């Protein structure tokens, strides 16, 4: 049996060349946690966690490392269920009489799910390496390239409204056939002008998505959707305020012919299920590097497939491309950043970057994730 021997975290941080804004957040640094799992027979699995605050997430990984030591590293589902069970009360769990920690605090759930996800992803890397197969092959997928789109149009202080149009047109010139624009930070009239300029710059044949970062109330979003419908929008992503429910998303979906995407901030398949079953979303953007890992992402992909909707995972293409490759009939593609200025960590973390041609990315062919971490880069940018 291949047993877990050690789990380490490597938090990374790199200042951005300039401050970037979404409708919700200000970004001055790129952050990332590398999880490293070692086994007693010499296998090493790695993964990414995209969650903050990094010290809290790393602390949870460290706590779980002690509980997982000696367990079967290839039993990904069993390990996932074991860790997830700690988030709820259990019979006999009072005063830690069963030898396990007391139920984990409610306020820590996001950090806990990020830690579970990172460990799970690293264990999937080990599973692939133990079998000598890439993860997409373990999932039954094929090795053909998968579609990719580039995200851009972050707000920059003092930039003209049409700056985003020139940026996204550059991604099209680089070969992308689908691009995503950050929106929701300005007035609806100003956003319409940004979108109009972008559509004119990229041409009629390129897919154009809008990422709103939860900027709108339901009524305002319906008005916004009607204003941008003439520009042939492929989806509206995270359109509604964080506190609105799957019911509100369903109302929005019935109010516009533009499909709705959502899911990157959801922590489990259970909430994603409600968005799907109520008809609120057509594109499921669950992020395995933020919560739940590959074990939960696979469950969500099956759920999406059964309901006739598509997965479009949020960022981390070196990992999420494996999932997309395994669910091609129920998958749109993977997200990338068009340039290293937005997230230099994603461009430097691996020894070899994924190659993109004609809007498609070559998925890794080596065992596990197929992309080996550049440990010199990690050492240089350790937080």
Cα angle 215-218-223, degrees, rounded to a multiple of 5: 85
Secondary structure (DSSP) of 248-288:
HHHHHHHH-SS-EEE-TT--SHHHHHHHHHTT--SEE---T
* Integer Rg of the chain from CA: 21
CA distance 347 to 344: 5
Q: Please, what sign has the CA dihedral across residues 229, 232, 235, 239?
A: negative
Q: Which of 31, 129, 262, 314 is catalytic?
A: 314
The answer to whether 182 is a known catalytic residue is: yes
Structure tokens at 194: 């940004």
Q: Please, what sign has the CA dihedral across residues 253, 258, 263, 268?
A: positive
The answer to whether 180 is a known catalytic residue is: no
Task: Strands of the chain (E only): list them.
Answer: 4-21, 26-39, 44-49, 146-152, 178-182, 207-211, 233-237, 260-262, 283-284, 310-311, 334-337, 356-357, 360-361
* Residue indicated by tokens 């990904």: 76
Of the candidates 45, 60, 62, 61, the one whose C-alpha atom is nearest the C-alpha of residue 121 is 45
Q: Which of 31, 50, 129, 182 is catalytic?
A: 182
CA distance 188 to 275: 26
- Residue positions annotated with a catalytic role: 182, 314
């Amino acid at each position: 049996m291949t047993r877990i021997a050690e789990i380490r975290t490597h938090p990374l941080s790199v200042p951005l060349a300039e401050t970037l804004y979404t409708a919700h957040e200000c970004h001055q640094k790129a952050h990332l946690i590398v999880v490293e799992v070692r086994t007693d027979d010499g296998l090493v699995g790695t993964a990414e966690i995209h969650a903050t605050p990094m010290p809290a997430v790393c602390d949870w990984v460290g706590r779980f490392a002690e509980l997982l030591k000696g367990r079967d590293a290839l039993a990904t589902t069993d390990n996932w269920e074991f860790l997830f069970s700690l988030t709820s009360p259990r019979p006999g769990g009072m005063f830690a009489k069963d030898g396990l920690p007391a139920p984990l605090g409610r306020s820590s759930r996001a950090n806990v799910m990020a830690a579970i996800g990172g460990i799970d992803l690293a264990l999937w890397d080990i599973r692939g390496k133990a079998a000598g197969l890439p993860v997409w092959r373990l999932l039954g997928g094929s090795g053909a390239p998968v579609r990719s789109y580039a995200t851009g149009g972050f707000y920059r202080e003092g930039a003209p409204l049409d700056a985003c149009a020139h940026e996204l047109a550059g991604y099209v010139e680089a070969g992308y056939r689908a691009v995503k624009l950050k929106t929701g930070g300005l007035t609806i009239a100003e956003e319409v002008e940004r979108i109009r300029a972008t559509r004119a710059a990229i041409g009629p044949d390129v897919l154009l998505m809008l990422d709103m970062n939860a900027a709108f109330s339901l009524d305002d979003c319906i008005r916004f959707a009607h204003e941008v419908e003439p520009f042939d929008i492929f989806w509206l992503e995270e359109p509604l305020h964080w506190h609105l429910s799957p019911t509100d998303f369903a109302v929005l979906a019935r109010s516009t012919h533009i499909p709705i995407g959502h899911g990157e901030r959801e922590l489990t398949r259970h909430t994603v299920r409600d968005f799907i079953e109520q008809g609120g979303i057509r594109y499921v953007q669950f992020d395995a590097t933020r919560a739940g890992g590959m074990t939960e992402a696979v469950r969500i992909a099956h759920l999406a497939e059964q309901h006739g909707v598509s997965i479009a995972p949020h960022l981390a293409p070196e990992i999420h491309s494996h999932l997309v490759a395994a669910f091609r009939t129920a998958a749109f593609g993977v997200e990338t950043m068009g340039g290293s200025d937005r997230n230099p960590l994603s461009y430097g973390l691996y020894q070899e970057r994924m190659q993109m041609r004609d809007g498609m990315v070559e998925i890794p062919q080596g065992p596990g994730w197929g992309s080996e971490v550049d440990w010199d880069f990690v050492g240089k940018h350790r937080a």
